[in-house]
Amino acid sequence: MILSSSILQGTELEIEPRYQTQLNQLIEDCRVHLVSVDDDLIRRAFRVAYWAHRNDRRASGELYIAHPLAVASLCVRHIGLDDLTVAAALLHDVVEDTEVTLDLIRDTFGETLAGIIDGLTKISGAFDSRAIGQAENVRKLMLSMASDIRVILVKFADRLHNMQTIESLPKHKQFKIATETLELFAPLAHRFGFFALRSELEDLSLRVLNPEAFEEIVRGLRSSKKDRDGFVDQFIGPIRDRLRADGFDFEVYGRSKNLFSIYRKMKRQDKALTEVYDVFAIRIVLESEGKKGKEDCWRVYSIVTDLYKPLPERFRDFISVPKSNGYQSLHTTVLGPGGRRVEIQIRTREMHEVAEKGVAAHWKYKESVDRSDEEMDRFLAWVRELLETPRPEQATEFVKDFRLNLYDEEIYVFTPRGDLFTLPRGASPVDFAFLVHTEIGYHCIGAKVNGKMVPLSYKLNSGDQVEIITSKKQTPNPDWIKFVVTQKARGRIRHWINEKRRKASELGRDLWEKKAQKAGLDLTEQQLQRLATRMRFPNVQQLFYEIGVGLYDVQDLLNSARGAQPEGEDGEGDSPRLQYETFLDTAQSSASPALMIDGELHTDIATHYASCCNPIPGDDVFGYISRTGSVKIHRINCRNAPNLLLNQPDRIVPVEWSRQKDVQFVAALRVMGEDRVGIVSDITTVISKDLRTNIRSITVSSEDGVFEGTIVLYVSDLQHLRRLIDRIKRLAGIHGVYRFEEDADSHR
């Protein structure tokens, strides 16, 4: 197949006027945001994409070409890298979804663009497949970054547009995509330095995963906007006047923090929106460059702290010591009018570009001025380090470690010679040792911090000077895995432990085989597994390991084997598909109401409601198939949902509530307010008499004039619970009413 010149030139393509208009706007945007642009390259890429997707439509019903056009536009506005990235965005789905081949792309557009498309196709295939373990998906992301960083940049834009248009998909697909976005793509965007992109991905995920919280924050910010804008104008007025008088070229403005960060503060601080003070920040951007720009930032900081009293513990200098993604800025918090705390960020225009567009800004500035791109080099070194880490046996371990390495908060520590290293907050001397060199980590026996001996589990702080003491006789301690936080340290320790276990298991198996051969016994692997189970070992490997390290006598195994009766071979294993079929065939009575599971009504399936989130009708939920075939129902915003949706997708089934009346569910509310006389009586009157709701239990405690209570009651559905919350909120002296979730260690 060869792309004809008529397709490349568009002479025989009937392009709808609106898409032609969007293409023209895309090229105009490229001229504004990119250093240089090849109009012909982008037009040819669009024509090929339009022709290839001519018969395709999205879930919304619109022509598919709308998606690559939107992705290309996002690449320009959010990333602003180069025209090759824009062309790749237009073509990112053609090889995977149409008759266009990679060789055809290579012949038409060249090797570099073909390489980007190939990387995008591999990533897409990994995330669309339920058969590939999550660890392999993440590894493919890593590999794509190592080959050409533009691959993952286009993938960011692709994911952002999919999140912007996610409402066209079924609910269970929305949940999976939003969870994956929040757990992997948003932190990865942060690691690239894309603050604006990360914020939008987080907010869009929150809208899907917790629409109640999303709407509550939106309404709260909207209702307080007038007062907030007035306060900001009052606050920045004196700053603007001083900066103008001192001859600065600057921009100063207030901005609301992204919804997800506000939601996270509310959860972490256990406060209502009205009680969270730092929902916005003041940003000062200076039109200064180079060394003068850094000096000007400090001069402006001095002016701000002359005008308003600073809180020293809230000061952060990310200019002298940038974050690992290249972020630079001065952060301080001051007391504004009325004693209100206000966060201020001070940076230059170039620092602002890097903060908003991350590595793409590094690329842009590297092209426009003669400078080394140390940030890009450090980032690619991080990618290579991830790839070099020994592969853990469990996919979930790799994903957990990967997320840990996408840390938000960082500390900066020094070697005795003054070399600087960046670590995640909570890192230990063992993390530092492995970061310096794997061999130092393996032989770490002690540590000095600021000249004093500390335990290896000690949590390091920014500015610490760390000296590692080593011994050739030392080997990793398995207990280290309990306190290390970096992916490299966890991976290396786990690899050493696994190697030690593997060698012990091999020794145990050798001892068994010699003993069994001498006794004339020949057991199959399945028979050995059944024997291990009967002897209460979790598996054969554990049995041989304990023999290898001397915890179990091989003669005892031989005696048990002699007494075992031969059994037939096992059939098909406990595959996800078999578990699913077992679940569908299960016919156990259930006290729960009927549920629509996987699109069908089932009244005879054993269902259980997860204690960690206690779902009730009206909640967005999903089903998790247990090993017994029953289904455990979780709310989509349950704290265990990300782990289940990301790491065990084959056990997830779509679940919807069926309509069933006269069924009561246990729910709980957490109420806080002024400890006035009669407050509890007022609350119970509203619940029992006004809304005719049965109370199961109520507990109340008070301190310093403030009370806090938990009310457990029976409700019919989510609307019933919302009516209760709304009515209780109206009572005088009530500060907050929240849905209470039981504590649970896990989803098990």
- Cα 30-182-175 angle, rounded to 5 deg: 110
Cα gap 104→536, rounded to integer Å:
59
375 is catalytic: no
- Residue 534 CA neighbour count, 13 Å, CB half: 12
Catalytic residue selected from 28, 56, 97, 385 = 97
499 is catalytic: no
Q: Three-class SS string for 500-559?
A: HHHHHHHHHHHHHHHHHHHHCCCCCHHHHHHHHHHCCCCCHHHHHHHHHCCCCCHHHHHH
Question: Could you give the 3-state DSSP secondary structure of residue 739?
Answer: strand
Residue 586 CB neighbour total at 10 angstroms: 18
Q: 487 and 437 in contact (C-beta within 8 Å)? A: no
Q: 397 and 405 in contact (C-beta within 8 Å)? A: no
Residue 173 CB neighbour total at 10 angstroms: 13
Residue 590 CB neighbour total at 10 angstroms: 17
The number of residues in the chain equals: 748
Residue 46 to residues 27, 54, 711, Cα–Cα distance (Å): 11, 12, 59
Q: 279 and 301 in contact (C-beta within 8 Å)? A: no
Cα gap 432→411, rounded to integer Å:
11
- Alpha helix locations (H) across 246-313? 259-269, 290-307
CA-based torsion, 139, 397, 583, 619: positive or negative = negative
Is residue 726 exposed (0-12), middle (13-18) or buried (19+ Cβ within 10 Å)? exposed
Residue 565 CB neighbour total at 10 angstroms: 5
Rounded (to 5) percent helix, strand, coil in the chain: 55, 15, 30
Q: Which of 58, 68, 61 is nearest to 22 (CA)?
A: 68
Element (H, E) at 281: strand 280-286
* CA 212 from centre of chain: 20
Q: 210 and 637 in contact (C-beta within 8 Å)? A: yes
Structure tokens at 581: 């079929």
Q: 497 and 476 in contact (C-beta within 8 Å)? A: yes
Q: What is the DSSP letter of 394?
A: S
**Strands 706-715 and 695-703, bridge-based pairing:** antiparallel
Structure tokens at 529: 């597994």
**Strands 280-286 and 341-348, bridge-based pairing:** parallel
Q: 110 and 44 in contact (C-beta within 8 Å)? A: no
Q: 188 and 138 in contact (C-beta within 8 Å)? A: no
Q: Which of 658, 664, 685, 683 is nearest to 673 (CA)?
A: 683
Residue labelled with tokens 């012949």: 107
First-residue to last-residue Cα distance in the chain: 54
Structure tokens at 616: 């009730």
* Single-letter amino acid code for the residue at 451: G
Q: What is the DSSP letter of 603?
A: S
Residue labelled with tokens 């007391």: 335
* CA 514 from centre of chain: 50
Catalytic residue selected from 16, 62, 96, 743 = 96
Catalytic residues: 96-97
